[in-house]
Amino acid sequence: MILSYTDSDGKICKAKANISTDYSTYSYGQPVIVLADSGVLDLRSWVGLGCQIIRATSKERSELQEIGLL
């Protein structure tokens, strides 16, 4: 999927990401959003950066709804 977010300078940026439960930092079987640079977005980061979905498959949108981000 493609996300947009606002960086610390107020600039809108784009990033590639996917949803995974195979990432080493996920907890209790919950999916996490993994960025192309291997960074992980948690709920606090998602909200703090003002993340928005630019493009996602219907499966990804469903998974985002399940984890409360849509």
Instruction: State which residues form the domain around 34.
Output: 2-66
CA atoms within 13 A on the CB side of 22: 1
Q: Is the pLDDT of residue 2 over 90?
A: yes
Tell me whether strands 32-35 and 12-20 are parallel, antiparallel or unpaired: antiparallel
Burial class (CB in 10 A: 0-12, 13-18, 19+), 67: middle
How many folded domains does the chain comprise? 1
- Which of 65, 64, 48 shows the shortest CA–CA distance to 2? 64
**pLDDT range class, residue 10, cuts 50, 70, 90:** very high
Tell me, what's the pLDDT at 60?
92
**pTM for this one?**
0.79
The pLDDT tens digits for 27-68 are: 566 778 888 888 888 778 888 889 999 999 999 999 888 888
